[in-house]
Chain A
Amino acid sequence: MTGSSAQAVLRLEGVGRVHGRGEAEVHALHPIDLEVRAGEFLAVMGPSGSGKSTLLALAGGLDRPSVGRVLVEGAPLEGLSRARLADVRRRSVGYVFQSYNLIPSLTAAENIALPRELDGVPARKARAEALVALEEMGIAHLADRFPEDMSGGQQQRVAIGRALAGERRLVLADEPTGALDSATGEAVLQVLRARCDAGAAAMMVTHDATHAAWADRVVFLRDGRIVREAAQRTGAGR
Chain B
Amino acid sequence: MSAWRAVLRMARRDALRAKGRRALVVAMIALPVLGATGVDVVHRSGQLTAVERADRLMGRSDALVGAYDPGRSVEQSVFPADGVRTLPQRPGSETPEQKRAAATEPTALLGELLPKGSTLTPARTGPVAAVQTRDGLAPVDTFEADLAGDLWQGRLNLVSGRAPAAAHEAAATRAFLAGTGLRIGDRVTVRGLESTPFTLTGAVECPGELNKSELVARPGELYQQLDAAQVVAGLAPQSPGAEQAAAKKAAWLVRLPAGASLGWDQVRELNRYGYTLASRQVAAHPPADALARQEAVGAEDARERRMMTVATTAAMALLEVALLAGPAFAVGARRARRQLALLGAAGGRPGHVRAVVLGGGLVLGAAGAVLGAVVGAALVAVLRTRIEEWGGSRFGQLALRPSDLAAIAAVGMLTALLAALLPALQAGRREVLDGLTDRDPVRRSARWTPLLGLAAVLVGAALALYGAVVAPTGGMPVLAGLSTRTLSVLTGATLAELGLLLFTPLLLALLGRLARLLPVGPRLALRDAARHRSRTGPAVAAVLAAVAGAVAVGVHTAGAEAQDRASYRLEQPVGAVRITLHGDADVMPQLRTAVLQDLPDLGERADLYEAQYVFCEGCSSVVSAEGGPRYGQTMTGPAVVGDTQVLHNLLALRDRTAEEALLAGKAVVTDPSYLHDGKAVLQMQGNGMEAKKVTVDAVLVDRPVGQRYAPLVVAPATIRGLGLQVVPAGAIWLPTAPVADRAEQRAAATVARLAPHSEFGVERGYRPQDSVVQVALSGFAALVVLGAAVVSTALAAADARRERVLLSAIGARPRTRRTVAGLQAGLIALLGGLLGTVSGFVPAYALLRSRVAGMTGAPAVLNAADVPWATIGLLALALPVVAGLLGALRRDDPAGWRG
User: Which residues does A use to contact B, with CB under 8 Å?
Assistant: 57, 60, 62-63, 82-83, 86-91, 94-95, 97, 100-106, 110, 113-115, 117-123, 126, 162
Q: 7 smallest A-B Cβ distances: which pairs?
A: A90-B347, A105-B13, A117-B6, A86-B349, A89-B347, A95-B345, A83-B349
CB<8 Å pairs between A and B, sample of 19: A63-B433, A83-B350, A89-B347, A94-B346, A95-B345, A97-B436, A103-B339, A105-B10, A106-B9, A106-B13, A114-B348, A117-B3, A118-B3, A118-B346, A120-B2, A120-B3, A121-B2, A123-B2, A162-B346
The answer on a CB contact under 8 Å between A103 and B349 is no
Q: Which residue of B lies closest to A101 (CB)?
A: B342
The answer on a CB contact under 8 Å between A126 and B10 is no
The answer on a CB contact under 8 Å between A123 and B5 is yes
The answer on a CB contact under 8 Å between A100 and B347 is no
Q: DSSP majority for the B interface?
A: helix
Task: Judge whether B17 is part of the interface by a CB distance below 8 angstroms.
Answer: yes
Partner of A114, one of B338, B346, B432: B346
The answer on a CB contact under 8 Å between B345 and A123 is no
When distances are taken between beta carbons in the complex, the residues of chain B under 8 Å from A101 are 342
Interface string of B418-448 (1 = CB under 8 A from A): 0000000000000111001000000000000
Q: Which residue of A lies closest to B350 (CB)?
A: A82
The answer on a CB contact under 8 Å between B347 and A83 is no
Interface size classification for chain B? 20 to 34
Q: Which residue of B lies closest to A88 (CB)?
A: B347
When distances are taken between beta carbons in the complex, the residues of chain A under 8 Å from B892 are none
Distance to closest chain B CB from A220 (angstroms): 23
Which chain B residues numbered 1 to 41 have a C-beta less than 8 Å away from chain A? 1-3, 5-7, 9-10, 13-14, 17
Given contacts A106-B10, A118-B6, contact A87 B349 (CB under 8 A): yes
When distances are taken between beta carbons in the complex, the residues of chain B under 8 Å from A100 are 338, 342
Interface centre among B7, B339, B352, B432 (most CB of A within 10 A): B432
When distances are taken between beta carbons in the complex, the residues of chain A under 8 Å from B7 are 118
The answer on a CB contact under 8 Å between A118 and B352 is yes
CA–CA, A105 and B338, complex, Å:
12
The answer on a CB contact under 8 Å between A86 and B344 is yes
With A103-B342, A118-B349 known, 13 other A-B pairs at CB within 8 A are A83-B351, A86-B348, A87-B349, A89-B347, A90-B347, A100-B342, A110-B9, A113-B6, A117-B2, A118-B346, A119-B3, A120-B2, A123-B5
Q: Which residue of A lies closest to B352 (CB)?
A: A118
The answer on a CB contact under 8 Å between A62 and B338 is no
CA–CA, A94 and B345, complex, Å:
8
Interface centre among B17, B351, B433 (most CB of A within 10 A): B433
Distance to closest chain A CB from B330 (angstroms): 19
Interface string of B733-744 (1 = CB under 8 A from A): 000000000000
The answer on a CB contact under 8 Å between A62 and B13 is no
When distances are taken between beta carbons in the complex, the residues of chain A under 8 Å from B509 are none
Q: Which residue of A lies closest to B14 (CB)?
A: A105
Task: Judge whether B599 is part of the interface by a CB distance below 8 angstroms.
Answer: no
Q: Which residue of B lies closest to A93 (CB)?
A: B347
Given contacts A97-B436, A101-B342, A123-B6, contact A118 B13 (CB under 8 A): no
Partner of A126, one of B2, B344, B345: B2
Interface string of B616-630 (1 = CB under 8 A from A): 000000000000000
Distance to closest chain B CB from A171 (angstroms): 12
When distances are taken between beta carbons in the complex, the residues of chain B under 8 Å from A82 are 349-350
Distance to closest chain B CB from A15 (angstroms): 15
CA–CA, A126 and B7, complex, Å:
14
Task: Judge whether B343 is part of the interface by a CB distance below 8 angstroms.
Answer: yes
The answer on a CB contact under 8 Å between A87 and B347 is yes
CA–CA, A117 and B346, complex, Å:
11
Partner of B347, one of A105, A113, A115, A122: A115
Q: Which residue of B lies closest to A166 (CB)?
A: B347
The answer on a CB contact under 8 Å between B5 and A90 is no
CA–CA, A63 and B439, complex, Å:
14
When distances are taken between beta carbons in the complex, the residues of chain A under 8 Å from B13 are 105-106
CA–CA, A71 and B351, complex, Å:
24
Distance to closest chain B CB from A203 (angstroms): 15
CA–CA, A90 and B351, complex, Å:
14
Q: Which residue of A lies closest to B338 (CB)?
A: A100
When distances are taken between beta carbons in the complex, the residues of chain B under 8 Å from A83 are 349-351
Distance to closest chain A CB from B858 (angstroms): 57
Given contacts A62-B345, A105-B14, contact A86 B6 (CB under 8 A): no
Distance to closest chain A CB from B432 (angstroms): 5
Interface centre among A62, A94, A101, A119 (most CB of B within 10 A): A62
CA–CA, A102 and B431, complex, Å:
18
Interface centre among A60, A113, A115, A121 (most CB of B within 10 A): A115
When distances are taken between beta carbons in the complex, the residues of chain A under 8 Å from B14 are 105
When distances are taken between beta carbons in the complex, the residues of chain A under 8 Å from B339 are 103-105
Q: Which residue of B lies closest to A96 (CB)?
A: B345
Partner of B17, one of A94, A95, A105: A105
When distances are taken between beta carbons in the complex, the residues of chain B under 8 Å from A119 are 3, 347
Distance to closest chain B CB from A54 (angstroms): 10
